[in-house]
Structures are given as C-alpha cells and as structure tokens.
Chains A and B, each alone.
Chain A
Amino acid sequence: MAGEIYKKPVLFAIVSAVVILIGTAVTMFIPMMMSHMHPKLDNLKPFTALELAGRDIYQREGCNNCHTQTVRPLKTEVMRYGEYSKAGEFAFDYPFLWGSKRTGPDLARIGKKYPDVWHYRHFEDPRKFFPQSNMPAYDWLGERALKPQQVKAHMDTLGFPYVEEDISQLAGKNELDALVAYVQVIGTAVTKKRMERISVTVEPAEKENPLAGDPAAVLAGKEIYEENCAGCHGDNGEGDIGPSLIDTVFLYVEGDLADDDYYEIINNGTEEGNVEEGRSMKGGMPPFRGDLSKTEIWSVISFIRSLQER
C-alpha cells in the first residue's frame, strides 16, 4: 500500500511538498507572524537619504562579504567590539546585513567610533593606518557623484521620511560621503555603556608610569604607536587627524596632563561627555582597552614622553 506512492508521481509530489513545508512553516512562516520577530528600539530612526545612499553602496560593493554586523553576546566579543547586538536595532534593514565571515572586523559598533575624516583616509588607503591590511582601497568612490533622483526613488520605495532639502543636498555629494555617513550611523541606536570600562577587569592604573625610564618600554611603545596611533597622531606625534602630542595643548586646554590621565584617555577613548582633569572631551578617539594590554598602554606612554623630550 505504502509502496503505491512510488508509482504515483502527482501524489508523490504532493506528499513531498507537505513534508518540506512542515519545517518551513514552523521555523520560518509562523515566526514571521509573531511580533517578537519584528522588534524595534524606541530611538531607532529610519536611514536618512544620504545614509541610505551609503547603505546601497555598501550592498553594491559587497562589504558584507568580509564584514559582519552582529556582535555576539560573548565576553571577548563585547570587549573587542562593544555592546552585543540587539534584535530591535535592525528594523529598518531591508534586508539585514549581518554577513557570515569576518575577514575584516565586525562593524556593528563602528558608528561614531572614529571621526569622519578617519574613515575618508581609511577608505582611500586602508594601508595608511594598517600597513598589513588586505582591504581594497575605495578612493575611487570619491570621484563618483550621487544621483539624487535615484536616491529619492529608493527612499520612496522604502517609505522612509525625508524633505526635499535632503534630496537637493545630495547634489554636491559623492559616493564616499554617503558611505561614510552610513558607516557612522551603524549600531548607534544602542547607547554605549559607560560601564564597559569597569566590566573589563583592569586593575586600577598606577598614578605614575611604572615603566618610566625603561628604554625597552620606549622601544616596545614605538612599535605599538606605529601600529595603532601614527595613523591619526602622525609618525612623530606631530598630529594629523588627531591633535599633536608634542605641543602643550591637551584636550583643548593649555598644559600637559599626568601619566595616569594619558592612561585613562588611551584606555577609554575621548568619548563626548567624558571629563578628565576638568577638561571635557569632544569625541574622536576610540578606546584601546580592547586592543592594548596594560603594559602596552604604559609602553606607548613611555614612547610619547620620549617624543616630547626630543
């Protein structure tokens, strides 16, 4: 009796379809009807015209082939990239761009981590910051003008709000402007946790550099500086994207800071709103606590001091 099905192709096809559709229904169609598959954070905003244009370019260039956009709730991952991804922060992603491979780093928390100018420089020549990077250069995007009417059509398709001015302002912009705007908004609906610095088990920093006067630390610090700092502060601390480290102005105020203040800034970055020795920060520098160990940070400080003494 059961063997009859192998002589009846139509019946066989129907039964096969039902068998295939059971798992499909339970894991895909039914969840789609559930509200917890469509969450949205309260402060999540639809992409602006410029950001959407940038996202289109991100899709066109296949950035998701090398970069993910999900931080997993794993301790070291949160240390490296920042707060783990929330279900509600992707509601306007048609479709999601989580990717599946990290040839390059995750970008879920890249938004506002660096200043715009860092991204322009990095897209133009990734090896300027990371000499051994394998990322292609995207300088050529800067020569391609955006097409405002096309972007408008895309905004209309998605039903994202805009005013005519948003569209007309695109006229003078190029594709690199758009891509940077998109990169800077990724993951920013989730507020950064100030607490992160405490959650990382760093012992309280010493008041003074324990490696001060150690020539080996200066040498080690030089290497770390070239890898991590020179891209913004210049090869000899003269300043570029970031401020000079060899003049006398620190955090926009005349007068040097102590070693432990340097440590704090390198460890936590200069997130807007943070205050060090009464000086308010304006953002721009990312925290390095995820990348550099305590000894490495002190070594860099030793090297910076040696630059200042030159």
Chain B
Amino acid sequence: MSNYQYDNQTVKGFIVSSIFWGVVGILVGLWISVQMWAPSWNIAPFFTFGRLRVVHTNGLAFGLGVGAIFGISYYIVMRLTKRPLLFPKLARFHLHLFNAAIALAAVSLFAGMNQSLEYAELEWPLDIGVVILWVIFAVNVFGTIIKRKEEQMYISLWYIIATVIAVAVLYIVNNLSVPAGLFKSYSVFAGINSANVEWWYGHNAVGFVFTTPILAMFYYFLPKSTGLPIFSHRLSIVAFWSLIFAYLWTGAHHLVYTPLPDWIQTLAIVFTIFLIAPSWGSVVNGFYTVAPDWTQMRTNYLTKFFIFGITFYGLQTVQGPTQGLRVVSQLIHYTDWVPGHVHMGTMGWVTMTVAASIYYIIPKIYKTDIYSVKVANTHFYLVLIGQLIFSVTMWITGIQQGALWKAVSPDGTLKYTFMEGLVRNYPFWQMSTAGGIIFTVGMLFFIYNIYMTMRSGTALAGTVERGGR
C-alpha cells in the first residue's frame, strides 16, 4: 500500500489560464462582431478586423481550447492511470511555457505577423514554441500511460492518445515554411496544393482539437457526474476507430467548387457524409447513458450541460456534412452561415462540455461543493440562449446572402449589387452581437461561480489517493 498525490496545482493552473485567455478571446469576438456593422470600431493599425479576427480564433482555439485540453487531460490521465504524472515538474514548466506562448502569440497577431493559414496563422518562431508545448504534453501523457497502475485503458485515454498523434502531424506539416526573417515566412506549399494542405489541417484541427479531446472529457465526466456507466463499450470502440479513420479524408469539403481537382473534392464529400455515423455513435452513447435516469436533467445541473453539449455536437455533425454537399455549398459557402455553424460547435458543444468538466473538477480539488447551483443554471441558460441567437441569426443571414448573390432579373442580369446584399446583413449582424453579449454575460456567471467556489474551499496541493493493491 502506498499513498500518492495527484498534482492539482498544474491542473488548476491550466484551468485558470484557459479561462483567462477565454475571456480575452470572447471580448475580442464581441469587438469584431461590432466591427461587422460599425466600421468606426476599427482602430488602425493594431485593432482592425483583419488582425482582431485571428486574435479571436487563435485566442479561443489555443488559449481557451488547448489550455483546457492540457489541464483537463492531465486530470483525466492521472485518474485513469491511477498514478501521478510521470514528470510533474515538466508539467509545471509546461504551464508557464503555455502562458508565455499564448501571450506572445496574441502580441504577434496584433502586430500583423500572420501566415494567412486559417487556424495556423502564427509565425514560425511561435510554431516552434507550439511544437515544444505539444512534445512536452505528449511525453507526459504517454509516459504516464505507459507507467500506469490500471491495466485497461478507458475510452477517454484512446481519444487523448489520438489527439496527441493527430495534432502533431497536422500542425507540423501545415506549418512547414521557409523563414524570411524572424517575423515572416513563406509556406513551402503553393497554389492549389497549399489550399489542399491547409484544409486538410484546418478541418482536422476542428476534429482533433474541438472533437476528440472534448469527447475524452465527455466520456470521463458524464459517467462521473451522473453515476451512470457508459451505455455501450462496443459502440464507443466502433465510433472511435471510424471517427479517427474518416476525419482525415474530409478537408477538401472546404474547397468545393474551387480549382482543386474534383476527385479530391468528391472523395472528401463522401467521407464527410460517412462521418455522421461515428459522430452519432458518441451522441447515441451519451443519450443512452443518461436514459436510465432522465430525471437528472432536472436534478443534476452537470447532466444538463453534458447532454445539451452532446446534442449540439450531434446537430453540428449533421449540419457540417450537409454543408459539404455541392448543392448546399454553392448557396451557403463564403456566407455568414459558416461562422454560424462554427459557433454552434464552439459555443454549444465545446464550451458547454469544458465548463461542465471544470464545474466537476474545481470543487473536487478544493474539497468543497460548487458555490451555487443557481448561478450555474443561470450560466447554462444564458450561454444557451446567446449561442442560439448567434447561430440562428447567422444561418438566416447566410441563406439571404447566398440567395441575393444568385438572384437574377427576368432580363438575365444580376438582381443585386454586392452592396445591396451587404446592407441587408446589418440588422442580422447587430443581432449576432446581441447574442454574443448574452453569451458573454453567461460566461461571466460561470467565472464568478468558479471563483467563489475556489474562495470557499481550501486549495489542496494534491489529492491524496490510497493506491497500490
């Protein structure tokens, strides 16, 4: 019998850091949503839409998303391997390096250092920083898993392993570039080939940052917080392997009707449709897990977050493949429909699941209860309403834009100039700002709740577990 400690400090550090970067990212998001309809909100040179939009996407994907993934994965890995991290000091260094890298990343994007690759905008010195961060994460996760005290690897560990491998391949390949000075580089890929590499990356960044690690959280914290076992182990096996197989084929659905060879587009569309199946494997598994006791939707606030989160994941993974179809793409591609789609996934699925995981973790490592279930419920309804207003508004605008661009007069000429189409977006863009504000207020309730929970408990440097056998 030997007692051992889980390192809570690093987990907590990552969670607090990710919330901080999340606030920055969300506020910048609100700002650019105003710039859509009020150009005077552009403040040159650092705060124009073109620069702020990448701060928004990178701040939330890397700051909030990856930060939470690092911290929560460490939490999950320690518990599923029944041992502390193999290199706890390295994990602490990882945290500090992460915050330094995100801070520098934000500054560099404000300054306009931008590779113009969506979700891979950071210039080469920061790319190297990101790779180092990822290697540290990989070493600690794999090392800890290899030296685990629990023979069977649970579902969440599969998803974490797949995440570590896929993101490494994706990030390194897409960022291959030739430096032309410390702050500027040119991609080694050109033309249609660079488009193909970028969207292979871009789509799978969604797959392996906003999907697989979040599913790892879902599969771990849903049973933990409901006390109900995962419905089907077999279904989770089938869903896992088919998901990680199919995802990598689908990037070119972002390039429908571009000069990219048709066969790559068609292949991507076919696999995109197939992807509904493994995605819904997890959705069904989640629903049936809670099925024995649906009353938890009323009585357990965490269940509500997880079930709504997985529901949005389910909607997202039907809407996404639909958008890949040529006949739909020609109408909605390049319109506001697409940001509407993305925000259902990020505001609905990712943020809800991450927030619920944090609601579970923080009281545990502070040895206390959540400060207020009421505040958590307020948070839930505000982010839900905010997200729905945002997404639905953007879908309507998107269809309108697509339709106006295509509209033809009886004499065969185009019916609307570009400007005539643009001005019709303004009321919808204002509405999306309103949705964003509601969402932001919801997130402030979340932060307040977490802060008060931390204050009311006593931070434990480590959770002592009775281990060994």
User: Which residues on A are within 8 Å of B, measured CB to CB?
Assistant: 6-7, 9-10, 12-13, 16-17, 19-24, 26-28, 31-32, 36-39, 56, 59-66, 68, 70, 72-74, 76-77, 79-80, 85-87, 90-106, 126-127, 130, 132-138, 140, 150, 153-154, 156-158, 200-203, 227-228, 289-295
Smallest beta-carbon distance A292→chain B, Å: 7
Smallest beta-carbon distance A190→chain B, Å: 11
User: Which residues on B are within 8 Å of A, measured CB to CB?
Assistant: 35-39, 42, 44-45, 48-51, 53-54, 112-118, 142, 145-146, 148, 151-153, 157-158, 161-162, 165-166, 169, 173, 178-181, 184-198, 200, 241, 244-252, 254-255, 257-261, 264, 267-268, 271, 330, 333-336, 338-339, 401, 405-409, 411-415, 417-419, 422-423, 426
Q: What are 16 A-B contacts defined by CB distance under 8 Å?
A: A9-B161, A16-B158, A23-B245, A23-B246, A26-B249, A61-B112, A65-B54, A80-B418, A85-B258, A132-B422, A136-B50, A153-B181, A156-B180, A227-B417, A293-B415, A295-B411
A134 CB contacts on chain B under 8 angstroms:
35-39, 422
Smallest beta-carbon distance A272→chain B, Å: 24
Smallest beta-carbon distance A253→chain B, Å: 29
Would A62 and B53 count as touching, CB distance under 8 A? yes
* Residue from B116, B178, B245, B251 within 8 A of A22 (CB atoms): B245
Contacts A12-B153, A156-B180 aside, 7 further interface pairs with beta carbons under 8 A come to: A6-B152, A20-B169, A24-B200, A76-B408, A93-B194, A133-B419, A228-B417
Would B116 and A37 count as touching, CB distance under 8 A? no
Candidate in B142, B165, B188, B409 with the most chain A CB atoms within 10 angstroms: B165
Contact A7/B151 with A16-B161, A90-B259 known, Cβ cut-off 8 Å: yes
Would B162 and A70 count as touching, CB distance under 8 A? no
Contact A36/B267 with A13-B142, A101-B338 known, Cβ cut-off 8 Å: no
B48 CB contacts on chain A under 8 angstroms:
61-62, 136
Smallest beta-carbon distance B250→chain A, Å: 8
Contact A293/B413 with A23-B245, A68-B334 known, Cβ cut-off 8 Å: yes
Would B245 and A132 count as touching, CB distance under 8 A? no
Contact A20/B244 with A7-B151, A12-B161, A13-B165 known, Cβ cut-off 8 Å: yes
- Closest residue of A by beta carbon distance from B258: A70
Candidate in B192, B194, B339 with the most chain A CB atoms within 10 angstroms: B192
- Closest residue of A by beta carbon distance from B409: A293
Contact A22/B413 with A59-B114, A66-B49, A100-B254 known, Cβ cut-off 8 Å: no
Would A96 and B198 count as touching, CB distance under 8 A? yes
Smallest beta-carbon distance B261→chain A, Å: 6
Contact A90/B178 with A24-B248, A72-B330, A101-B334 known, Cβ cut-off 8 Å: no
Smallest beta-carbon distance A260→chain B, Å: 16
B259 CB contacts on chain A under 8 angstroms:
70, 85-87, 90
* Residue from B185, B244, B336, B414 within 8 A of A19 (CB atoms): B244
A74→B333 CA distance, assembly (Å): 12
A53→B223 CA distance, assembly (Å): 56
- Closest residue of B by beta carbon distance from A101: B334
Would A28 and B411 count as touching, CB distance under 8 A? no
- Closest residue of A by beta carbon distance from B237: A6
Would A90 and B192 count as touching, CB distance under 8 A? yes
B401 CB contacts on chain A under 8 angstroms:
102
Would A38 and B245 count as touching, CB distance under 8 A? no
Contact A73/B169 with A92-B190, A96-B191, A100-B334 known, Cβ cut-off 8 Å: no
Would B162 and A72 count as touching, CB distance under 8 A? no
A32→B198 CA distance, assembly (Å): 12
A59→B49 CA distance, assembly (Å): 13
Would B165 and A17 count as touching, CB distance under 8 A? yes
A130→B418 CA distance, assembly (Å): 10
Top-8 shortest CB links A-B: A62-B50, A23-B248, A201-B412, A90-B191, A136-B42, A95-B194, A23-B249, A157-B180
A60 CB contacts on chain B under 8 angstroms:
112-114
Would B409 and A31 count as touching, CB distance under 8 A? no
B39 CB contacts on chain A under 8 angstroms:
126-127, 133-137
Would A291 and B180 count as touching, CB distance under 8 A? no
Would B169 and A102 count as touching, CB distance under 8 A? no
Would A74 and B330 count as touching, CB distance under 8 A? yes
A66 CB contacts on chain B under 8 angstroms:
49-50
A19→B242 CA distance, assembly (Å): 9
Contact A65/B49 with A95-B198, A98-B195 known, Cβ cut-off 8 Å: yes
A235→B249 CA distance, assembly (Å): 54
Would B36 and A103 count as touching, CB distance under 8 A? yes
Contact A64/B244 with A27-B200, A27-B251, A31-B196 known, Cβ cut-off 8 Å: no
A227 CB contacts on chain B under 8 angstroms:
417, 419
B267 CB contacts on chain A under 8 angstroms:
26-27
A291→B415 CA distance, assembly (Å): 7
* Residue from A24, A31, A64 within 8 A of B264 (CB atoms): A31
- Closest residue of A by beta carbon distance from B245: A19
- Closest residue of A by beta carbon distance from B268: A27
Contact A72/B257 with A20-B166, A157-B178 known, Cβ cut-off 8 Å: yes
A94 CB contacts on chain B under 8 angstroms:
186-190, 194
- Closest residue of A by beta carbon distance from B254: A100
A100 CB contacts on chain B under 8 angstroms:
118, 254, 334, 338
A56 CB contacts on chain B under 8 angstroms:
184
Would A95 and B417 count as touching, CB distance under 8 A? no
Contact A20/B162 with A72-B258, A90-B191 known, Cβ cut-off 8 Å: yes
Smallest beta-carbon distance A138→chain B, Å: 7
Contact A9/B146 with A16-B162, A290-B413 known, Cβ cut-off 8 Å: yes
A90→B42 CA distance, assembly (Å): 31
Smallest beta-carbon distance A198→chain B, Å: 11
Smallest beta-carbon distance B329→chain A, Å: 9
Would A133 and B165 count as touching, CB distance under 8 A? no
Would A132 and B419 count as touching, CB distance under 8 A? yes
Would B191 and A87 count as touching, CB distance under 8 A? yes
B49 CB contacts on chain A under 8 angstroms:
62, 65-66, 136
A131→B142 CA distance, assembly (Å): 58
A186→B358 CA distance, assembly (Å): 48
Would B116 and A64 count as touching, CB distance under 8 A? yes
B250 CB contacts on chain A under 8 angstroms:
23
